[in-house]
Structure 1
Amino acid sequence: MATDQPMQLKKLAHIHLGVDGGAEKFFVRLAGALARKGVDQIAFIRPDRPWRDELAKHCDVRELRFSRSHLKRHFVRWGISREIRKFGATATMGWMSPASKWLPAPGPDMRTFLRLGDWPDGFHTYGNVQDLIGNTPDIIHQAVEMGWPEARAHVISNFVDPLPADLTPVNRADFDTPEDATVLIHLGRFVRRKRFDLAVQAIAGLPTHVHAWLIGDGELMNDTRALAQSLGVSDRVHFLGWQRDPSPFLKAADILFCPTDEEPLGNIVLEGWNAGLPVVATASPGPSWLIDDGVNGLLSPCGDVGALTNSVSRILASPDLKQALVQGGTAKLADQYSEAGVVKAYDRLLSSPTAR
């Protein structure tokens, strides 16, 4: 098979300024996949990242302080460039827009890429970016509409690691959840676009055996708690905090709930399929690209809590529908979002002398 051919990419440098979230998880995941294929890597990150030790298993990690001072920024970028040249990288990839200002100038022996997992907000720091990589078509479409050259814009999606066969689900009793409850699980930052409020409102409109696990933290957590209290569902809405590894929670849940208004990809949809869960989502850009409604998930209009509640009710009423959605999600994950396919796409692009 083509995926078994030797990698063309030999040495890759990364610049990643993120903290801890879905983008960081995929960064570490991709670095590991490339390392297993024999790609030598170096990564420049901020100090004390919680995923630093995991990343260090796959590549040489350099921790730097990225100053906002224009003068200091010049010296930091110069130092990064020097280290990349010494390392011999033929490609450097920045992760998300903040990394763009630290990319070294490209040259005949080294190309530069910026990988986006969200919509761009302008190109004023993209002077050293040769090519954009977006993990959904909508990200790239928006970049092109904003003026980025279409020939230098590419779509490569994410992949997720298969769950270990011996993965032990969390104990529901540890989170005040009855063993016989139906658990909806929603993950992310407590910010407006993630619409944790819709998860709470949906619980209020569903039978009392349905509970919600809300995983994450953020500025709207207290508001969401207050909403659950006002709707009288505090005993069925459980705030589990930020979890570095949500896999045991996904394994213990029943339905993946993704009610977001603006989701470029919806990595949690992939996580839900990976955990063997039926997916209920709103038709924001990412989920509507990933999900074939009625085949591998159920879609409803953004902001429509009644439609979301109806989707959950359909699954509760039909074990056959639930099983069909699970099988459809598993099949699509294997067919289009496998590690082998995504790594091959990165290899082909990052090792090419010109944009493909």
Structure 2
Amino acid sequence: MATDVAQRSTKLAHVHLGVDGGAEKFFVRLSRALAKRGVEQIAFIRHDRPWRDELAEHCTVRELKFSRSHLKRHFVRWGVSKEIRDFGASTTLGWMSPSSKWMPKPGPDMRTFLRLGDFPDGFHTYGNVQQLIGNTPEIIRQAVEMGWPAECAHMISNFVDPLPDNLQPVNRSEFNTPEDATVLIALGRFVQRKRFDLLIETLARLPDPVHAWLIGDGELMNDMKLLAKQLGVETRTHFLGWQKDPTPFLKASDILVCPADDEPLGNVVLEGWNAGLPVVATASPGPSWLIEHGKTGLLSPCGDADGLAGSIRTVCASSTASADLAGRGTEFLRARYSEAGIVVRYQQLFFTDKHGNNGR
């Protein structure tokens, strides 16, 4: 499916039609890292994304507005393809399956990749996609099992930015949280598979000094607030909404919790290690792949509130054990998920053909 070109420019186009979440943060992070290495980029995104200005610091940005008219959508797609070619991109990278419908047609001067941070649900809109990139082995395994050619599927994980040395944590008192509380933090969209309900049920099994900060937004927010009230932990469950930069909240917390049933990677695990936190998680695919149980974090069965509560009690019981988990997690992050190591793999994939030629 892939087309080889002996010499490729280092101009890259992105098609990103997602909203807010960990994948969007990594999109901005990767494009900034590529820009630092001389890659000129253009990005097509939805109108009025909260990270638009941050992206525009290093990337030409085009904001798209969509119409329900099928005919107008064809004109938008044609316009995107034309601008990508006028820009001179040799490679287009789509982000997540919805972007596959807006990819330009590949050819001798254009290769197309689609990056998946979630499990594929079919390839019916992938007509202009030549190659897939998944950020976990399980995503790639499922894609190949579903019929995608193995030689056109690549696994490249995420990286996170080291936190600034002068980063100041938020003041707990501003969020009705005692200074002496043990603060659990969880981040993500309020959708069923993220299992914020499991975390609230877990909190109800833990004593009063333990509080939970839930960062994110979504359709189940009100349901989660109701559940916290029903379980009698509404004063210990803090809904902090969507935060453009959650790192000051991570620095003010004690334990990163990932309670998901179906988490392909778990950017939050990387974020927790990056902030120097011990990580406890349920054994969904991503965290199970990232975490070595008992060494870089603690895993418990999916959907098991008692098991998750047991992991948290283990961390709380010993400051030495907590520090050891956090330290080993951070060491693992630095060794395996550095910006330099991850970005060079993208550069090799985008701008080097099978003969080793590149656009530099």
Tell me the TM-score normalised to structure 2 length. Answer: 0.94
Q: Partner letter of residue 24 of structure 1?
A: E
TM-superposition CA deviations, 1:265-312 (whole Å, max 9, x none): 100000000000000000100000100001110001101111111101
Contact residue 9 and residue 350 of structure 1 kept, 8 A: no
Corresponding residue number in structure 1 for 2:221? 221
Task: Please report how far the alpha carbon of residue 241 of structure 1 lies from its aligned counterpart in structure 2 after TM superposition.
Answer: 1.1
Contact residue 97 and residue 114 of structure 1 kept, 8 A: yes
TM-superposition CA deviations, 1:155-194 (whole Å, max 9, x none): 1111111111111111000111000000000111111111
Give the Cα–Cα distance (whole angstroms) in 2 for the partners of residues 355 and 67 of structure 1: 43
Is 1:322 aligned to 2:319, yes or no? no
Is 1:116 aligned to 2:116, yes or no? yes
Corresponding residue number in structure 2 for 1:192? 192
Which moves more between the two structures, 108-117 or 226-235?
226-235
Contact residue 13 and residue 84 of structure 2 kept, 8 A: yes
Q: Which runs of 5+ in 1 are unaligned?
A: 1-7
Q: Partner letter of residue 155 of structure 1?
A: M
**What SS does the aligned partner of 2:50 have?**
coil
Which moves more between the two structures, 232-241 or 111-120?
232-241
Q: Partner letter of residue 197 of structure 2?
A: D
Which moves more between the two structures, 303-312 or 218-227?
218-227
Corresponding residue number in structure 2 for 1:86? 86
Corresponding residue number in structure 1 for 2:152? 152
**What SS does the aligned partner of 1:106 have?**
coil
Contact residue 217 and residue 242 of structure 1 kept, 8 A: yes
Task: Please report how far the alpha carbon of residue 9 of structure 1 lies from its aligned counterpart in structure 2 after TM superposition.
Answer: 6.1
Is 1:353 aligned to 2:353, yes or no? yes
Distance 1:355 1:60, change over 3 A: farther
> Which structure 2 residues correspond to residues 263-278 of structure 1 after superposition, within 5 A?
263-278=263-278
Task: Please report how far the alpha carbon of residue 68 of structure 1 lies from its aligned counterpart in structure 2 after TM superposition.
Answer: 4.9
Contact residue 134 and residue 157 of structure 1 kept, 8 A: yes
Task: Please report how far the alpha carbon of residue 355 of structure 1 lies from its aligned counterpart in structure 2 after TM superposition.
Answer: 11
Give the Cα–Cα distance (whole angstroms) in 2 for the partners of residues 150 and 355 of structure 1: 20
Task: Please report how far the alpha carbon of residue 72 of structure 1 lies from its aligned counterpart in structure 2 after TM superposition.
Answer: 2.3
Corresponding residue number in structure 1 for 2:3? none
> Which structure 2 residues correspond to residues 25-174 of structure 1 after superposition, within 5 A?
25-174=25-174
Task: Please report how far the alpha carbon of residue 74 of structure 1 lies from its aligned counterpart in structure 2 after TM superposition.
Answer: 2.4
Give the Cα–Cα distance (whole angstroms) in 1 for the partners of residues 256 and 182 of structure 2: 11
Give the Cα–Cα distance (whole angstroms) in 2 for the partners of residues 68 and 43 of structure 1: 22
TM-superposition CA deviations, 1:35-92 (whole Å, max 9, x none): 0011000111122111111110111111222445433232222222221111111100
Contact residue 116 and residue 133 of structure 2 kept, 8 A: yes
Q: Partner letter of residue 258 of structure 1?
A: C
Contact residue 131 and residue 355 of structure 1 kept, 8 A: no
Is 1:302 aligned to 2:309, yes or no? no
TM-superposition CA deviations, 1:202-222 (whole Å, max 9, x none): 111112111111111112112
Q: Partner letter of residue 118 of structure 1?
A: D
Contact residue 9 and residue 89 of structure 2 kept, 8 A: no
Higher relative contact order (CA 8 A, sep 6+): 2
Corresponding residue number in structure 2 for 1:203? 203
Give the Cα–Cα distance (whole angstroms) in 2 for the partners of residues 213 and 123 of structure 1: 37
TM-superposition CA deviations, 1:86-126 (whole Å, max 9, x none): 11111000111111011011111110000111111111110
Give me the CA root mean square deviation: 1.5
Q: Partner letter of residue 327 of structure 2?
A: Q
Identity %: 71
Aligned length: 349
